[in-house]
Amino acid sequence: MDSEFSDILKQGYVKVRRRHFWIYQRCWLVFKRASSKGPNRLEKFPNERASNFHCHQKVIDLTDVTDVTRPSKEKKKNVLVLTFADDSTLTFTCDSEKEAADWQKVLHRECVQNGMHSLRSGEPDLLASSLTQQCERFRVCLLPCKGLVTSGECVLQVGLEAISLWESRNPSLKFASWPLTSLRRFGRDRTWFTFEAGRMCETGEGLFKFQTMEGEAIYQQVHAAVQSIVQQQDCPFR
């Protein structure tokens, strides 16, 4: 993965149907995939210029999207309908058949297919309900480092005994795992989480730094797991 990446997968002018009305409002729509900055989401701007300055946007969370369809009986052409888990919908039209097809393809792949794939393909420690309640996963951006050939967007999982790093688009592919008892130190600030691995880790000794807006949450999760190990096993860290 590249260390430099954009979370924008699709953008362009569309007409979004206003809730509870049959009025369609033209806007600049940006689809951003899940990253350390947030989940899959649509950002709606009055125009393209506003998107460049990141102002006046409305954010629509797509975490609970269950389907992306193109109704054949709609009076308007090139219509897309996003259906959410609570049966609510978001409807918008595109300027052309090609644009509608492109929007449906990318939205369905990222919001529906990838979501189902993560449920089917994850390894046991990601799937078992008894364990997922005790593990936390965070979208992060790994800086290039010694010990790993990958960098860029990944999924950092904090478990009861280890920190694991997974491919963001393929939840069954694990890059590395670091036992909590082999961490020398870990820390965070507003936009980073870091830890130093000891020589007993599979990556060897090294400092690993992740860009994320959830540094505090990751730190607290790791700290709680470490404290639990210390209390239960009275285990010295190395």
CA distance 83 to 78: 16
Please determine, for residue 176, whether its predicted confidence score (pLDDT) is greater than 50.
yes
Percent of the chain with pLDDT over 90: 38
Please determine, for residue 36, whether its predicted confidence score (pLDDT) is greater than 70.
no
Q: Do 197 and 208 meet the contact criterion of CB atoms below 8 Å apart?
A: yes
Written as six digits, the tokens of 81 are 């309908």
Rounded to two decimals, the pTM is 0.50
User: pLDDT of 95-132, one tens digit each?
Assistant: 999 999 999 999 999 998 876 544 344 443 333 333 33
Residue 165 binned pLDDT confidence (cut-offs 50, 70, 90): very high
Residue 125 pLDDT: 37
What residues contact residue 127 under an 8 Å CB cut-off, 6+ apart?
Answer: 119
Residue 188 pLDDT: 92
Which residues in 162-196 are b (16+ Cβ under 10 Å) and which e? bbbbbebbebeebbbbbbbbbbeebebeeebbbbb
77 or 6: which leads in pLDDT: 77
What residues contact residue 163 under an 8 Å CB cut-off, 6+ apart?
Answer: 156, 157, 177, 178, 180, 183, 195, 222
Q: Walk me through the domains of the chain, giving residue ranges and CATH numbers.
A: 8-121 (2.30.29.30), 124-233 (2.30.29.30)
Residue 120 pLDDT: 40
| Neighbour count for residue 19 (Cβ, 10 Å) | 10
What is the Cα gyration radius of the chain? 21
Written as six digits, the tokens of 138 are 């965070």
Q: Which of 79-83, 157-161, 192-196 has the lowest mean pLDDT?
A: 157-161
Average pLDDT (136-163) is 88
Residue 34 binned pLDDT confidence (cut-offs 50, 70, 90): confident
CA distance 31 to 124: 31
